Amino acid sequence: MSIAILTSGGDCAGMNPAIKQFVDYCLAQNVEPYLIYDGLEGIIDGTIQKAGYADVSGIMHLGGTILRSSRSKRFFEYAYRKQAYENLQKHGIDKLVILGGDGSFRALNRFYQDFGVRFIGIPATIDNDIFATEYCLGVDTALNIIRNATDAIRDTSSSFKRASVIETMGRECGYLALISAIVSGTEVCVIPEVECDFDALALKLRSQLKQGRKYIMCIVAEGTKMTHQVVEWLEHEIGIETRATVLGHVQRGGNPTVFDRLMATKFVEHAVDNLLDETTKGGLVVVYQNSKCEFVTIEYVNSNSYKLEEELLIMAKDMMH
């Protein structure tokens, strides 16, 4: 029996620990593990390699993905999917594990419908925006990178009595910004899910500055497209010198945290066990709910949009109103 693993879409810390655990666990189960390079493009191009312990030795601490990644337009065309299927057949591969987001899962679900290649999707995106799972691989590492950056920026803001605006990633989801604002104790948090009352915040911040506040910290989610606007607001409405920092892709790299390494192990073992069980159907995603791993269908993942926990929004309400 042969199972292959690939990484697709945006990279994140935790992918390499998952790849290592996949190979080690498969070999322990007497299953032949294969590595597919360059994501969905790699299945089409046939960049597929049988894996052994040496191929994944020493990668546990590395960020990104040794398999590399891609976003494939060709995979939407049947002719290329057929070519991909034929490449898998050459190696006797009829099962896949894919680390990525809902777009990658949808692509492989179409592949499964066409050719019956069973797969398990592992949610891996720092955006943490996949419905039905409380956690996606890479999120904890990204949050720790944002925390470190925010702490460092706070040092210089306090030294110069400035305001700092920090833009986080997350596409249209404000999870990274929200959690980072809560754990960093910022004064302002701007996310797509909640409309900020800037007038109320201005009254509050001007009062605090009169009472001796020396600096202001703001976290803005990229999905709001309001970073420049918040800088202008701070300088003209609040009257404080302001600097902006766009963290960008630094949030996607770095050494995986302990939690991301642990979750990579859990996700992969559940995925492989499910694929080895011939009584289960393909086209599933392993999700993390209520402190345990479960399986849901692609259709269920796509049936709704991820929503931030109301409790978290309540915690941050004073940063938005």
Q: Specify whether 127 is catalytic.
A: yes
Q: How far apart are CA 194 and CA 174, in angstroms?
A: 9
**Of 101, 304, 320, the residue nearest 192 (C-alpha):** 320
Dihedrals phi, psi of 88, to nearest 5 degrees: -65, -40
Please state whether beta strands 188-190 and 284-289 pair in parallel, antiparallel, or not at all (unpaired): unpaired
Angle at 284 between CA 117 and CA 19, to 5 degrees: 75
Quote the DSSP letter at residue 259. H
- Residue 221: count other Cβ atoms within 10 Å of its Cβ: 27
Annotated catalytic residue within 45, 94, 127, 260: 127
List Cα–Cα distances, 210 to 46, 156, 163, 205, 238, in angstroms. 65, 21, 15, 9, 11
Instruction: Classify 203 as helix, strand or coil.
Output: helix
Amino acid at 282: G
Instruction: Classify 208 as helix, strand or coil.
Output: helix
Quote the DSSP letter at residue 256. P
Give the catalytic positions in this structure: 127
